[in-house]
Structure 1
Amino acid sequence: MKNKLLTIAALAVAFAGCQSQEKKKEENKDKADVIATTDSQQVNLPAPYATKSVKKFSKIIGWPNGKKPVAPAGFTVQMYATNLKSPRNIYIGPNGDIFISEANTEAKGVKKVANEVSGKSQSGYDGPSANRITILRDANHDGKPELQKIFLSGLKEPYGMLVLNNYFYVANTDGIWRYPYKTGQTAITEKGQKILDLPAGGYNNHWTRKIIASTDGSKIYVSVGSGSNDGEHGKDNEKRRADILQINPDGSGEKIYASGLRNPAGIAFAPDHKTLWAAVNERDELGDNLVPDYLTSVKEGGFYGWPYAYFGQHEDPNHKGENPEMVKKTITPDVALGPHTASLGLTFYTKNAFPAKYHNGAFVGQHGSWNRSVFSGYKVVFVPFDNGKPGKIEDFLTGFIADESKNEVYGRPVAVEEMPDGSLLVADDGASKIWRVSASK
């Protein structure tokens, strides 16, 4: 009886959401028309609600024997690590040790039932989060780690990792911790210290917190995703969210480095070590082709639109007239990565093992869509750079979609990380694997 009531409640929530969406679409129809005939045409964006908002969740079926992702000619793909539990992020330590944060969204009660009814539960690991960090070590550099063990456990949805000043930093969803660390150790043995509180959780998978250090190690940058899709829960719910924060290594001196970034899940410095870049997930429920996720350079003090505007100064119809000054301040991002692609991972290629076209370019892991009638993402893309300027996006690692007619995918790529030997690691949290892409010899 209890399960039946939960199912009914979940269906009621889903039905109410559909009604709300249709009502919103009708209310904003005239606004969408106005936007469609002005600014959006300048960047070739469709009108909001040009198509209805669709939920199409993927179903992960895993990789059959002999099957693996597909890289361009001249590259080799191999399975690097398995026996993991939803590997979300990768960090390479100063001695080449590889750290994998394993965590996932935990749905409970009515929300869990709703996920089962909608099919969302099949698009990712739906059980208890591992909440741990695993260490991998390939001492003889043969592409097969000899060591794989739990490095640190008992965490709270960990994602970002960083070694700085003899500390190992961990970005949990609710705060930054640091632990005494010596290069080469294979487990954290000493007690940690929480140096910064953060707003926990967030919309969908916006619980991730990426951390990176400035080149001189004097600052740490922290990405924090929004607590809602489009600001629908009010401003108080979004304090210190949809931002990149900057702190000192001890957690003091916090300031908002940049804002209006709905979910800047991937952040990295360009090879010049000066320019900060971010891969950003944009909002849902404006139609199949809105809004494009993007890759952008991030200016200190810059505002990137959320929730008032999107992809430059295109006013969000759900916030019409609310804050025209902030719309005018919105910075247009550098590269559109496609709508609903869930672009999460970001790394720049600074080695020489890959062909010259890849040098200094950016790799972006696209986890894949759920709010689009046709799948987008589910691949790793590459953005070439020339003298610090991005070029045209192209596919790099594909083959994750098994049979779209059945909504089936083999896995879902997320984090990407450059290895010291110039190969590329890709975390596939859907299939709980790490893939290695290397230039063929």
Structure 2
Amino acid sequence: MVFYDVLAKVVALVGAGAVKWRSLQGEADPPAVGDAPQIPIGRPQGSIPTLKMPTARGWAPGQLPVAAPGLTVNAFATGLKHPRWILVLPNGDVTVAEALQSGGKPQTLFDHAMVATMRRAAAFGESPNRITLLRDADGDGVAEERHVLLEHQKQPFGMALLGNTYYVGNTDGVMAFEYANGATTISGPGRRLTTFKSDGHWTRSLLPSPDGQRLYVGVGSLTNIAEGGMELEEGRACIYELDLQTHHCRVFADGLRNPVGLAWEPTTHRLWTVVNERDGLGDETPPDYLTSVADGGFYGWPYCYWGKTVDDRVPQDAARVATAVTPDYALGGHTASLGLCWMPAGTLPGFDVDGMVIGQHGSWNRSTLSGYRVVFVPFANGRPAGPPRDILSGFLAPDESVSYGRPVGVAIGPDAHSLLVADDVGDVIWRVAGASSR
């Protein structure tokens, strides 16, 4: 570990020096945000990419994230192990997937440094591989009961409950378990519905269709820009549609490097996702994005980004580039936007229009860190309609040296007037509400 830590520091210093040199060539690029972002020309960083990630510290006793004016924040549950995703059940119970990136043998010097850096940032290690059920029986905004609902999974992430079936998006496929309303444990073996490749981007988000007949599943790429060839990326960088009656699974949309959060927009009934774009082209190039997802749509990866902007590092396919769909809304470069949920107007005081809530896990591949916050994007007529607003911030120290937490999954709370946020560095579920909702 000492050797890897030294490597991480060396690579980080070299990368920082390279970034400093690049920054001297011109002014810093403004954030690439909105439906018509100004995206700088990509400047390939080559073998010395930016490697900057804060050390994970966690929260000191009594320390809290910063809620937007008019809101309060409290710990709904603490002492978890790398909580990533949240599902609120119809009876008000909250299930939390606890999992962590692990395994995979580093091959290069940079791989070793990256793994060491991720360990320091609490983003790599032994995965707990369980789902915990939290119960706030008295409705005071703090869960007083905790149960292991399901364990011995393989990096569980997405969850869904339809009728008496509880679905889990493990990294290697979707599993189905019998579940009784109000139960605090699941003991049955489960049924495998799909099989996915389990390396690379490992999260498998789940979202039921409004009629409960299908599940949509986000599966990320193996690599940054298909460095190992497209054969290794087959069946990846896409959103699947799984028919729950026939168990037929098909690619719904592809060219999405790492689609994580999924949500429905209720006016148009369209599927939306947040996507983590590629690294190594600059602080704001290309931006991560929020987009509606069309059946059969191709969104560019790995050949191009933000529509048809070609990535010259990748062997090209002109026919595919010609069909690339431009995303709807840019979220800034490398924000690692993961969490996504629809928030109706009035759910939180001061947020008086409908929109999407996004958990931004935070960057590692840029000179000035981005993300590390929970934001709200207002919608009108089924589309984004204005700049993002902070809901929760303060996860990062002002000098960017340490992170107290990193937000991931977001969900509307059981009372419909609060927001739950999974913080995988702080090992806590935060609850955001108005002052009168405590």
TM-score of the pair, normalised by structure 1: 0.87
**Contact 1:354–1:439 (8 Å) recurs in 2:** yes
1:28 match: none
Specify which of 324, 335, 344 is matched with residue 350 of structure 1: 344
Runs of 4 or more consecutive aligned structure 1 residues displaced over 4 Å after TM superposition: 107-113, 115-118
Cα distance in 2, alignment partners of residues 134 and 376 from structure 1: 30
Asked if residue 171 in structure 1 is aligned to residue 165 in structure 2, the reply is no
**Contact 2:94–2:135 (8 Å) recurs in 1:** yes
Give the SS at the match of 1:235: coil
2:192 match: 194
2:300 match: 305
Cα distance in 2, alignment partners of residues 428 and 243 from structure 1: 26
Give CA-to-partner distance per residue, 1:139-167, whole Å, 9 cap, x none: 22111112111110000000011111311
AA aligned to 1:223 is G
Cα distance in 2, alignment partners of residues 257 and 110 from structure 1: 32
- Going from structure 1 to structure 2, the CA distance change for 1:297 and 1:122 (only over 3 Å counts) comes to same
Specify which of 195, 207, 216 is matched with residue 212 of structure 1: 207
Structure 1: runs of 5 or more not aligned: 23-41
Q: How many residues align?
A: 409
**Contact 1:171–1:177 (8 Å) recurs in 2:** yes
Give the SS at the match of 1:327: helix
Q: CA offset at residue 319 of structure 1?
A: 2.5
Give the SS at the match of 1:317: coil
AA aligned to 2:339 is G
- Going from structure 1 to structure 2, the CA distance change for 1:273 and 1:71 (only over 3 Å counts) comes to same
Asked if residue 283 in structure 1 is aligned to residue 310 in structure 2, the reply is no
1:93 match: 89
Alignment of 1:12-51 (within 5 A): 43-49=37-43
**Contact 1:115–1:121 (8 Å) recurs in 2:** no
**Contact 1:288–1:339 (8 Å) recurs in 2:** yes
When the two chains are superposed, the root-mean-square deviation of aligned CA atoms in Å is: 2.6
AA aligned to 2:392 is L
Q: CA offset at residue 45 of structure 1?
A: 1.2
Give CA-to-partner distance per residue, 1:325-376, whole Å, 9 cap, x none: 2112111111111101100000011363423644421000000000011010
Give CA-to-partner distance per residue, 1:310-337, whole Å, 9 cap, x none: 01111111126x2112112111111111
**Contact 1:424–1:437 (8 Å) recurs in 2:** yes
2:30 match: none
**Contact 2:119–2:125 (8 Å) recurs in 1:** no
Q: CA offset at residue 191 of structure 1?
A: 2.0
Cα distance in 1, alignment partners of residues 155 and 4 from structure 2: 27
1:266 match: 261
1:137 match: 135
1:67 match: 63
Q: CA offset at residue 301 of structure 1?
A: 0.7
Asked if residue 253 in structure 1 is aligned to residue 248 in structure 2, the reply is yes
AA aligned to 1:293 is D
- Going from structure 1 to structure 2, the CA distance change for 1:116 and 1:289 (only over 3 Å counts) comes to closer
AA aligned to 2:292 is S
AA aligned to 2:356 is A
1:104 match: 100
2:32 match: none
AA aligned to 1:331 is V
Give the SS at the match of 2:397: strand
- Going from structure 1 to structure 2, the CA distance change for 1:412 and 1:393 (only over 3 Å counts) comes to same
**Contact 2:213–2:245 (8 Å) recurs in 1:** no
2:310 match: 315
- Going from structure 1 to structure 2, the CA distance change for 1:172 and 1:50 (only over 3 Å counts) comes to closer
- Going from structure 1 to structure 2, the CA distance change for 1:228 and 1:431 (only over 3 Å counts) comes to same
Q: CA offset at residue 393 of structure 1?
A: 1.6
Give the SS at the match of 2:120: helix
AA aligned to 1:297 is S
Structure 2: runs of 5 or more not aligned: 19-35
Give CA-to-partner distance per residue, 1:24-44, whole Å, 9 cap, x none: xxxxxxxxxxxxxxxxxx852
AA aligned to 1:175 is G
AA aligned to 1:181 is Y
**Contact 1:271–1:360 (8 Å) recurs in 2:** no
TM-score of the pair, normalised by structure 2: 0.87
AA aligned to 1:70 is V
**Contact 1:375–1:404 (8 Å) recurs in 2:** no
More divergent stretch after superposition (354-363 vs 158-167): 354-363
Greater share of residues in helix: 1
1:236 match: 231
Cα distance in 2, alignment partners of residues 347 and 135 from structure 1: 20
Q: CA offset at residue 58 of structure 1?
A: 1.3
